[in-house]
Amino acid sequence: MTVTDLEDPGSGHGIPTARPGEPIGSVLSGLAGGDYESVGAVYVVDDNGCLQGLVRLPRLLSAGMQHSVSDVMEEVAPVVAADEDQERVVAMAVRVAEVPVVDENWRLLGAVPSPALMRIQHREHLEDFDRLAGILHDQEVARAAIEGRVLSRALNRLPWLLLGLVGGAGATWVMAVFEEAMATRIAVVFFIPAIVYLAGAIGTQTVAIAVRWLSMSQLSIRRLMVGELYTGAVIGLVLAAVTFPMIYLILGDPRLALAVSLSLVMAGAVSTTIGLLLPWFLWKIGRDPALGSGPVATILQDVFSLVAYFVVVSAILF
């Protein structure tokens, strides 16, 4: 959804404006009795309606009547286009009360006031939670997931769960391939839940960072990828350093302890990669990156972490 799709009337009309050379007294007189959707600032425009700056209301009230608007106005930051995604508008508005909207020629179209920003943020959070639960991405579908009939709710959730069932079959096949290894060393099976859980947890953290980056950051995907891979490696090494002595002390098997520890490092790297690249890929093809935070990422992380675990175990123990 873009800025022009907002239902809030303050996003397009009802904001005070003034000319650069207009006296402060004249501006204040014009504000009296005006029906404005937002009065946090007076926007300064030229004769063509192009945005020049703004004067915040406290500054306007404290300025002397002999001054003109140009004496007290400041630069506008941030500014958004009418077709800007509303989620990015909220991200830009962290330090400001409202965000002005301009066209390609910088003509002022309106502003998104604080109440609209709060409603956008609330709606986007609800949508992201729905996607995290594996509910389809349409807003009406997401609302029906809470208020709809039982059959409708089930149909909204089933597609991703069926995909999860396919992923579960893939995980079962991976374990069947390494059945002999598990039968020979039954202790190998003990650590499968821990490997899968930790890989999923690391991946979930990375997905959250990736979705936030896509909404807010100007950092390149390459820099983020390198940083997250290093972070995943450090997390894996710390977990491995804790895991190795525990397994060695409990089971007395240094090779098994080494295999599990190395598997944690690999699982962390794999999960970090999936958790970052999946939302980025969805974003590149024009889909909502929050979809990657749900069952799709979980399926891939589970299967690939199992493959990494059994490959390492087979290489070290057999």
The model carries a pTM of 0.57
- End position of a domain, from candidates 89, 112, 135: 112
Q: What is the DSSP string of 165-186?
A: HHHHHHHHHHHHHTHHHHHH-T
Residues 310, 210, single domain; the answer is yes
Do residues 40 and 180 both lie within one domain? no
* Cα 11 from Cα 268, distance rounded (Å): 44
Q: Which of 77, 112, 147 is the last residue of a domain?
A: 112
d(CA 306, CA 192) in angstroms, rounded, equals 7
Q: Give tens-digit pLDDT for 184-222.
A: 888 888 898 989 888 888 888 887 777 767 666 556 777
Residue 264 maps to a domain: yes
**172/245 same-domain check:** yes
Least confident of 27-31, 45-49, 147-151: 147-151
Q: Tell me, what's the pLDDT at 262?
A: 92
141 part of a folded domain:
no
The pLDDT value given to residue 187: 87
| CATH number where 305 lies | 1.10.357.20
The reply to whether 183 and 96 lie within a common domain is no
Q: What is the largest CA-CA distance in the chain?
A: 91
Short-list 306, 318, 314, 287, CA closest to 131: 287
Q: Are residues 198 and 313 in the same domain?
A: yes
230 pLDDT more than 60: yes
Q: Does residue 147 sit within a domain? A: no
CA–CA distance, 159 with 229 (Å, rounded to integer): 31
Is residue 307 domain-resident? yes
Q: What is the pLDDT of residues 70-85, one digit of tens each?
A: 888 888 767 777 777 6
Amino acid 121: pLDDT: 66
Residue 196 shares a structural domain with residue 53? no
- Whether residues 99 and 232 share a domain: the answer is no
Neighbouring-strand partners of residue 17: 43
* Mean of pLDDT values over 44-68: 83
Query: Would residue 187 count as lying in a domain?
Result: yes
34 and 105 in a single domain? The answer is yes
pLDDT at 247: 92
In this structure, are 188 and 297 located in the same domain?
yes
Q: What is the mean pLDDT of the chain?
A: 76
For residue 34, the domain's CATH number is: 3.10.580.10
Q: What percent of the chain has pLDDT over 70?
A: 71
Q: Are residues 218 and 296 in the same domain?
A: yes
Q: Which of 67, 91, 112 is the last residue of a domain?
A: 112
Give the pLDDT mean for 31-39: 71
**Which pLDDT score, from 0 to 100, does residue 135 have?**
46
Mean pLDDT of 237-266: 91
Strand locations in 64-124, DSSP E?
A: 80-81, 99-102, 108-112
| Band of pLDDT at residue 178, cut at 50, 70 and 90 | confident
Structurally, how many domains does the chain consist of?
A: 2
Contact 289, 280 (CB under 8 A): yes
Distance of CA 75 to the CA centre of its chain: 29
- Choose the weakest-confidence range: 142-151, 225-234, 269-278, 290-299: 142-151
Considering only 130-134, 149-153, 284-288, which range has the smallest mean pLDDT?
Answer: 130-134
Mark whether 87 and 197 lie in a shared domain.
Answer: no
Domain with 106 in it: 3-112
